[in-house]
Chains A and B, each alone.
Chain A
Amino acid sequence: MAGIEHDFVERVAHFGPDKALIGIVAQPAGPFPADRLSVVILNTGTIHRVGHHRMYVALSRRLAQAGLTVLRFDFSGLGDSATHRSKQPLLQSNFADIGSALSWLEKTQGISRCILVGLCSGADHAILYGFSDPRVIGSVLIDPYIPPTARYFVDYASRRLRDVRSWRNFRLHKSKLMRRLVERFSYGLYREKTPQHLAYQGLDARASLEEVYDAAVKASIKLLVICTGRHHAPRQTYREQFINAFSNVCFGGSLRLEFFQDADHTFSSAQSRKDLEDLVVKWCETTKFERSRSKSTSTVDVTDLWIA
């Protein structure tokens, strides 16, 4: 697969219950590679399948040129997909949609090995879903949820203190830093009285996410984690924050971690998107995927994580 550039074709995909889910599948126009893989690109927040700055169109075409079959689709109720008819909560509905996408690829394209790609909430969906479905062999997680670490707080505070605008806002009583410090202080007082609300503050999320990542690693799912450094409200401030935040997980060779220092959360510059495409295509081409076919034994209940 590596190094060969294919022509590609794009078609509309209808799938799921009542064919209510809409996506675009891109795939090589010529003969398919022997060892076929699919890639499913998930929505970022409420933005439809095209993505910010058309980034998912470009990424899917690059991957199709590399020989992969790529489906980018809209979750129920987003983009052009109809709303889910079931009464399921949003997270379960979205999980069902990912399952439908994988089943459609399996049934119509004969591909049962899939890589999930997501940015922000898309990354969160990918990791929360992936370990439970043996068809998922890898995940590209772009700016997934990463709990803050001690160094994060130091970096964040330091960055804000060096920012002239922060001082101007402080003078105008609009300082984000001050607001966050006050919130953390209030939360510390509040936490002692009401531990049942910890999940809402992300502390349970860390433990649960560690279980999820652990389950993914044990299932031999390969992970490409990409973090950006130019958030307006950064989730991470340094490359190793992901590893520090999930220090109880032994990622070993399952993880490749990349930090795009100069990219913002939506990859606004064309160069950052090209760098992202290059990285993802290369990783898909060169990674040896060997998903364990055994069913996951993890008992982690991911439904509680949605609020966090």
Chain B
Amino acid sequence: MLPLFFGSKQRRLFGVYEPATVRTADVRAALLCGSWGLEYTNAHRTMRLLSKRLAAAGFDTLRFDYFGAGDSGGETTEADLDGWKDDIQTALRELKDMSGATHVAVIGLRLGATLLAETVPRLSAEIQSAVLWDPILSGADYLRALLCPIDNHYGKTSDSAAYAESKAGLASELGGLLVSSAFVRGLADIDLSTYQAPASMRMLAVFTETGLPDSAFSGFFDSGGEVARLQAPSPWKDAAERDEGLPVEVCERILKWLG
């Protein structure tokens, strides 16, 4: 395992490269794109687990933090979703350089999945397959959940002062983090309800969230994307809010699908 900083001096990104522990005939690589905020923190262990499982299956993997998040450079107020899509491309280049792989698989969790969905159409020449793990389908719903302390998992750890502030000034504090208004606008604009899978690559969407209607993401399914609904813990939620244990079922489903 190799933790490293990469990217430009102005936009330093932190990542952890995990070389494959078994080698297959062709070089295989996978890029992991995590979520954001509390979801990122909660899911860190799961992303590490997935990375290790992929490495054991013959994939060189890279998981990384977006600019202004995690261990990467920048402040939370400097984060914006278009910049994070560029970060995905930067990380993809880094992974290809390090592994020597020409085609890679990309796996995104929550906001990472949403960003991937919006990024992969322009990267179809480099990406062989993409997995969207519980993508955020509606930015409006996501924002509503972030701002509601009762109906969602964010509320358990946040103080009421933070929420009072958030409601008064949406652009300044979200999920306990200071963010720019551009970031909030980017979240609000998310709408994958009519998303269609690009014809040039295999795509799998995994849903573990209960309560999602069968019609959700139907455009994706109709355009050739595969959808898996699994009963598994949601690793991005607070420990008190989710089922015990790691989402091993999801990791195994992803590995099986990648082949």
Contacts and interface: CB of A to CB of B under 8 A. Distances in A.
Interface size grouping (class) on chain A:
20 to 34
B162 interface: yes
Nearest to B165: A269
A57 B176 contact: no
B168 to A, nearest CB: 12
A24 B5 CA distance: 10
A52 B161 contact: no
Contacts of B76: 54
Given A10-B73, A80-B16, A269 B161 contact: yes
Interface stretch (B41-49, B53-61, B186-194): B41-49
A47 interface: yes
Nearest to A232: B156
Nearest 8 A/B pairs, CB to CB: A269-B162, A264-B159, A268-B158, A268-B176, A53-B176, A268-B162, A270-B178, A12-B3
B71 interface: yes
Interface of B: 1, 3-5, 12, 14, 16, 37-38, 41, 44-45, 48, 69-71, 73, 75-76, 156-162, 165, 172-173, 176-178
B48 A262 contact: no
30 contacts: A10-B71, A11-B5, A12-B3, A24-B71, A48-B41, A48-B44, A49-B71, A50-B41, A50-B71, A53-B37, A53-B176, A54-B76, A58-B75, A79-B44, A79-B48, A80-B1, A80-B16, A230-B159, A263-B159, A266-B157, A268-B157, A268-B158, A268-B159, A269-B161, A269-B165, A269-B173, A269-B176, A270-B172, A271-B161, A271-B165
Contact of B3 (A22, A54, A232): A22
Nearest to B157: A266
Nearest to A266: B157
Nearest to A61: B75
A272 B73 contact: no
A51 B73 CA distance: 15
Nearest to A52: B41
A53 B177 contact: yes
Given A80-B16, A270-B165, 12 more contacts: A10-B5, A12-B4, A12-B14, A50-B41, A53-B176, A58-B75, A230-B159, A264-B159, A266-B157, A268-B158, A269-B165, A270-B162
A46 interface: yes
Interface of A: 10-12, 14, 22, 24, 46-54, 57-58, 79-80, 82, 230, 232, 262-266, 268-272
Contacts of A24: 14, 71
Nearest to B70: A50
A264 B157 contact: yes
Contacts of B159: 230, 262-264, 268-269, 272
A10 B65 CA distance: 14
Contacts of A79: 44, 48
Give the most central of B41, B69, B76: most A CB within 10 Å.
B41
Contacts of A48: 41, 44-45
Contacts of A10: 5, 12, 71, 73
Contacts of B173: 269-270
A111 to B, nearest CB: 21
